[in-house]
Amino acid sequence: MPIPELHKGRVFDKLEDAYRILSAQFTRLNLQKAANHQYLEAVVEHVGVALVSLDDAGQVAMMNERARRLFGQPQPLRLKSFARFDTRLPEILQRLGDSDRDLLRVQRSDDTLQLVLYCTCFTLLDRRYKLVSFQNIRDELERREIESWQKLIRVLTHEIMNSVTPIISLSKLIQETLAADNANPADALTLTSGERSDLQRSADAVHSRSSGLLDFVTAYRSFASVPVPAISHADMHSLLERVRTLMADALESQQVNMDIQCAQGLVVHADIRQIEQVLINLSRNAIEALADTSDPRILLRASRSDQGRVLVQVADNGPGIDPAHLDNIFVPFFTTKRGGTGVGLSISRQLVQANKGFISVKSGESGGSVFTVSLPAPAQH
């Protein structure tokens, strides 16, 4: 507030001038402080990591937009409110100290989160605060795992190919030599008919098994050479209809009914051919799983998640997957099928990963299996 006009002399005039300068400076500093606060709030809101700040009393002092989306609820007021997200979380947040980390695996409906929690403690105006970041590293873990498998497969296929190729050539040479020997008795080798027969069977067995091993290696080679996706926008309902058309013969031969549920106007941002291949693989597996099921049914369902992603599900009413196998179902070479290679689901996961998505599986509420593919939707403008 300005000093009243008292006109008490030059000293008071100078004092009034100094007061006005100080008042303007304080006003400028307050405006700058408010602007800095708004700027920091905007940065915190737009940062790509969920952030939660707690005071010593367990009250939530701050939660950014990413955190509100993660917890899927209005801002909790107290530490214990986080139990609605996961019953272990309040105890973990209470225990975390400065620079501490923890890993929390959370199952949320059709999604599995691998959350890394990192804590920083600080003091502000004599009050102690704890700032905790939540970062989902599932995509990174899957990407690293796939890269490790790819490197291993490249080494194995290279070494096996180097060994198998000459075996095939030599066994073929033995087969041809014995065939020529049988065709020209006058030039026959000094072998008895029994020895010649044994040698022929051995050569045939070696050639057959090495050829099978070559096919086996060729199949696994595809896991290490998935093409770069050609990303575009695609209508999900049209994609699901196309998958059903492509699977029509297999569905009819096994008398399986396939239904489609898709939200209106749902669009995905991905390589449509690669995602189509994934859905075909999952549908084919579902048909095989339904071989001994009465009234076999498959549901292709697409919807939008709370996080704005596109969720595509392939659900069947078959016998389901043994819970002991759920953690290994996408591991390369792992299979529960007789004669299976264990490549299909591994390649499907790699295709989904290449499209910035992830795939998971769970048991259906009324039996069977539900595979869920989470994919990005087009950016909203």
Instruction: Give the pLDDT of residue 326.
Output: 76
Look at the alpha carbons of 181, 186, 187, 192 in this order and tell me if their dihedral is positive or negative: positive
Distance CA 86, CA 84 (A): 6
Q: Is this structure's pTM higher than 0.85?
A: no
Among 13-17, 34-38, 217-221, the range with the most confident prediction by mean pLDDT is: 13-17
pLDDT tops 80 at residue 187 = no
SS3 173: helix
Instruction: Give the pLDDT of residue 38.
Output: 63
Contact 131, 122 (CB under 8 A): yes
**Selected residue with higher pLDDT from 214 and 1:** 214
Among 61-75, 127-141, 263-277, the range with the most confident prediction by mean pLDDT is: 263-277
Instruction: Give the pLDDT of residue 222.
Output: 60
Backbone phi, psi, residue 193, to 5°: -65, -35
pLDDT, tens digit, for every residue of 104-142? 888 776 667 788 888 988 887 788 888 888 888 766 666
pLDDT tops 90 at residue 331 = no
How would residue 279 be classed by pLDDT, with cut points 50, 70 and 90? very high
Distance CA 279, CA 156 (A): 29
307-327 average pLDDT score: 86
CA angle 159, 160, 165 (to 5 degrees): 110
Contact 83, 73 (CB under 8 A): no
Residue 213 burial by CB count (10 A; 0-12/13-18/19+): exposed, middle or buried? Answer: middle
Q: Locate tokens 């597996």: which residue?
A: 285
Single-letter amino acid, residue 126: D
Please provide the DSSP assignment of 66-112 as one string. HHHHHHTSSPPSBGGGGGGT-TTHHHHHHH--TT-EEEEEEEETTEE
Single-letter amino acid, residue 229: P
Single-letter amino acid, residue 171: S
Contact 282, 372 (CB under 8 A): no
Take residue 122 and report the two structure tokens written for it.
Answer: 């600080």
Q: By mean pLDDT, which of 25-29, 214-218, 372-376 is the weakest?
A: 214-218
Residue 367, strand partner residues = 365
pLDDT tops 60 at residue 365 = yes
SS3 222: helix
